[in-house]
Amino acid sequence: MEATKQRLEWLDAMRGFTMILVVAYHVAEFGFLESEKTSVSLPFLVLFRMPLFFFVSGFLAYKASWVWTPQNFAALTWKKFKVQVLPALVFLCVFIILRAKAPFGEAFMHRMESPTKGGYWFTWVLLQMFLIYYIVAALFQRISKKAENIAIVVLWVVAVGAYLSLNLPHTCGNWYKTDFMMYSSFYETLLFFHFFLLGNLVHRHWTTVQRLFDTKWLFPLMVILAFLCCADIFRWHLLRKEWTNLPKTMAMYTLMLTVVMFFRHYQTHFTRQTRIGRGLQYIGVRTLDIYLLHFILMPKIPAVGQWLDAHQPNFIIDITLAVGTALLVIAFCLLVSNILRVSPQLKEYLFGRPTPPLKNKDNG
């Protein structure tokens, strides 16, 4: 039991670390008004921040003892809908009211037409991933546990194929640029679903994966491959046409797995008994609150972006300013979140966290 507890603690800490990277990316993009063409931090952060998030979500989605019944399926689906869709809609509307320059209706429809929904796409896409996973797992669990495991592997292969097809528009056409793909954000689902499923498969075979992680050659191999892929992405540009995306895809996987292996290896440093562990875990369990609020609280400091563009490349200064500002934004998000959570109704309907009923205590 202790190993499981520690594993979940470092996983929460890693999720908190990933949330910091997500906010730092948005600080650089929306706060400093940097672009991936001029920034040295944005192109690097984008490689593994969202893959890590979906990996963790897929990892936690698997519960070995879970039995799929119609009642369990309906209850879990409704719970995810309340958490993933309703809060995002509310905060998107709040963001438009407070920060959009166009009239509300026009601004709202403009964001609905985009697969990224003005930044509020993540929870909608995660719900789609959960639903697809639930349906496949429930159907094949009725056959056997082995059939369920095989079905998830096959689904992962299909998801990887769908992701690769998005990067071959000259051979596959523009099938993904339909109104359905844009309005539903299913385009983003196809981009990231394979990371969710990989996390799920890793959890299903966690004992075997841990032995693989503990081999002497895997971590250095991941680091070397990540370095070579990033070198090609940012410097060499050796591959052309349909092979151009191969280094990027390999960098996403290798950087993601490198971070996972790092947090697992140093898991004793990320427990609640350490300051950094408590801090990262607190952010990790409040990722939804931070995600929903940080767009609204994002500062606009274009002068910083202009200064960075004039003094590029300087990765250390770029990432330090982005992460430092992100930590301030996260602190304000947590403050606002704690204020809103005073109300049980707001806690439930804004953040999907119902307040447990109070237990009667016998004072006699």
- Rounded to two decimals, the pTM is 0.91
Predicted pLDDT at 4: 44
- Residue 153 phi/psi, 5-degree rounding, is -65, -45
Would you kindly state where each structural domain of the chain is located, as residue ranges? 2-351
195 burial class (0-12, 13-18, 19+ CB within 10 angstroms)?
buried
**Considering only CA atoms, which of 179, 166, 176, 185 is closest in space to residue 115?**
185
What is the tens place of the pLDDT at every residue in 240-270?
766 778 888 999 999 999 999 999 999 999 9
Tens-digit pLDDT string for the chain (364 aa): 334 444 579 999 999 999 999 999 999 999 999 877 777 788 888 899 999 999 999 999 999 888 898 899 999 999 888 888 889 999 999 999 998 888 999 999 999 988 899 889 999 999 999 999 999 999 999 899 999 999 999 999 999 988 988 876 555 556 667 888 888 899 999 999 999 999 999 999 999 999 999 999 999 999 999 999 999 888 887 877 667 788 889 999 999 999 999 999 999 999 999 999 999 999 999 999 999 999 999 999 999 988 888 877 788 888 999 999 999 999 999 999 999 999 998 988 888 776 554 444 444 3
216 within 8 A of 188, measured Cβ to Cβ? no
Q: How far apart are CA 303 and CA 33, in angstroms?
A: 9
SS3 for 353? coil
What is the tens place of the pLDDT at every residue in 155-176?
999 999 889 888 765 555 566 6
**Considering only CA atoms, which of 297, 356, 351 is closest in space to residue 23?**
297
What proportion of the chain, given as a percentage, has pLDDT over 90?
62
Q: Quick one: angle between helices 315-340 and 287-297, nearest 10?
A: 110
